[in-house]
Amino acid sequence: MTALQIVRPDGRVARLALTRGDITRFQADAIVNAANSELAGGGGVDGAIHIAAGPELMTELRARHRGCPTGSAVITGAGRLVEHGVGHVIHAVGPIWRGGGRGEAEQLASAYHSALALAREVGAVSLAIPAISCGVYGYPLDAAASIAIDAVAQELTMPGPPDVATFVLRSEAVAEAFERALSARLDRVGEMAGGPDRK
């Protein structure tokens, strides 16, 4: 799939990439989870991450966090995922789609910004991110993809980690929406397009 090179003010290049797959099998310093505000676990990517990380993840979540408002994020260790190099799980809570008039766009952007801020705080150089709110929370895919890419690209312009953020996308429809959003951004934000030759 496609990637975007983001040239920072200091000349360093960060990378925003799209890939298809299971985020629990992806090696990154931190992975983002699409959680709920009770941090209660669930299905989808949340269920997959808790299964892969083992019960230690829920134990740590319960011990350290009472919940997480929509549009924000909390961080824990990665349980058994440390065995393949993941140091942290960042539990971000996106909005449930209720028609678009309840601040969903701001909440979705805020979930990504909060997740990236935590990744930066712990020094995670590489980050894997799912399509928050694009499953049971029902966010329209093209709108969600565009918000996700814009929020993460904006964060990557900041100094410090992460240097590589990869959206790991399970479903074909979601992957296609993210591809469309990335292409649209490349057309729109000319200075960010292309490879290192555009530096």
Binding residues for ligand APR (CB under 6 A): 22-24, 34-36, 41-48, 94, 130-137, 168, 170-171, 174
Instruction: Report CA 121 to chain centroid distance, whole Å.
Output: 15
Q: Which residues have C-beta within 8 Å of that of residue 22, sequence separation ≥ 6?
A: 48, 168, 170
DSSP character for 8? -
List 13's β-bridge partners, or say none.
7
CB of 168 to ligand APR, least distance (A): 5
Which of the residues are catalytic? 46
- Report, in Å, the least distance between residue 32 CB and ligand APR: 10
CB of 13 to ligand APR, least distance (A): 26
CA 32 – CA 177 distance, rounded (Å): 19
Nearer to ligand APR, 5 or 181 (CB): 181
Nearer to ligand APR, 27 or 157 (CB): 27
Q: Over the Cα atoms of the chain, what is R_g?
A: 16
Smaller CB separation from ligand APR, 40 or 189 = 40
